[in-house]
Structure 1
Amino acid sequence: MRTTGDRIRHTVGFELIGLLAFAPLASWVFGFALHQMGLIGAVASLIAAVWNYVYNLMFDKAMLRFRGQLRKTPAIRVLHAILFEGGLLLVFLPSVAWYLDISLIDAFIMDIAVAGFYMVYALIYNWAYDAIFPIPNATPRDCAADCP
């Protein structure tokens, strides 16, 4: 399993890179001011950072319990990203609607688009992170075709 320091590095990197990509893109796509999208992104990032740490710890424990290893197949990586973003969607929907003074339906459509962006981003980031920072003490069996 990953160390706490490694999980913190993973989370901070994920949130910083994600925020730098999200705010200008969301401002352009949705037509809201950059500072509004930046604030939404920053608050969401703080909430997501905590969720990221807790979720990945729980996911790794579940992987060990049900699979006996931490190796993620492409299908498991997709499931990992979907479940992560689904949890965030439930939290963000009401707050985004309130802050932007839009309907829950409009916030839902916006959140689905943002979740889609972050789902793809999470898949790419986590795959790259695992390649750059392999799991410590991973055996060849754990890595199979998934480690560098």
Structure 2
Amino acid sequence: MRTLKDRIRHTVLFEGIALTLLAVFGAWITGHAPTELGVLGLMMSLIAMSWNLVYNWMFDQWDNRVRDMAPRGVGLRIVHALLFEGGLLIVGLFVIAWWLSMTYWDAFMLDIGLSVFFLAYAFVFNWAYDVVFPVPRRAADVADGMSC
């Protein structure tokens, strides 16, 4: 199990590297200034964190009112993820169009590109993080010859 200190390091590294990559490569791809893309990345990060909090709170409210307390299955999790990403895409569309003075179509294409980037980036980052900072093994598991 990871410690709070490790989770903070993970979050800071994840966001710092992502914002740097977004500012440098986003500027190169779109022709906008790195500072514009860096600030956009920071805004989108804050929006995603806020949306995550609000969306999951609303989802839990709905879940507690409508469903029985059976475990949440794969189908519900797929719908949950799609609605979360859909909401983030809609908000992102307007923020990107406003911040970069783009058409909605161009903003939509950039928003989709950001979503694909973060999907791949999260996978690669988390895999690399686990290699560089392995999950600590519990003493009892090591003594039993089991791995976490």
1:17 Cα deviation after fit:
0.8
Amino acid at match of 1:124: V
Match of 1:14 in 2: 14
Q: Does 1:117 align with 2:126?
A: no
Q: In the aligned structure 2, how far is the partner of 1:118 from the partner of 1:126?
A: 12
1:10 Cα deviation after fit:
0.7
Match of 1:94 in 2: 94
Amino acid at match of 1:132: V
1:5–1:90 Cα change, 3 Å: farther
SS of the residue aligned with 2:32?
A: coil
1:33 Cα deviation after fit:
2.2
Amino acid at match of 2:114: V
Q: Does 1:34 align with 2:38?
A: no
1:128–1:110 Cα change, 3 Å: same
Q: TM-score, normalised by structure 1?
A: 0.62
Instruction: Mark the runs of 5 or more structure 2 residues left unpaired by the alignment.
Output: 54-70, 73-77
Instruction: Mark the runs of 5 or more structure 1 residues left unpaired by the alignment.
Output: 55-64, 67-78, 143-148
Match of 2:45 in 1: 45
Give the fraction of aligned pairs with identical amino acids, expressed as a percent.
43
Amino acid at match of 2:97: A
Q: TM-score, normalised by structure 2?
A: 0.62
Match of 1:129 in 2: 129
Q: Find the structure with the greater CA-based Rg.
A: 2
Match of 1:145 in 2: none
2:89, 2:111 within 8 Å by CA — same for their partners in 1?
Answer: yes
Match of 1:2 in 2: 2
Q: In the aligned structure 1, how far is the partner of 2:120 from the partner of 2:26?
A: 15
1:121 Cα deviation after fit:
1.3
Please provide the CA RMSD for this pair. 3.0
Q: In the aligned structure 2, how far is the partner of 1:90 from the partner of 1:133?
A: 35
1:141 Cα deviation after fit:
4.5
Q: Which runs of 4+ in 1 moved over 6 A?
A: none
1:90 Cα deviation after fit:
4.4
2:40, 2:96 within 8 Å by CA — same for their partners in 1?
Answer: yes
Q: In the aligned structure 2, how far is the partner of 1:38 from the partner of 1:46?
A: 12
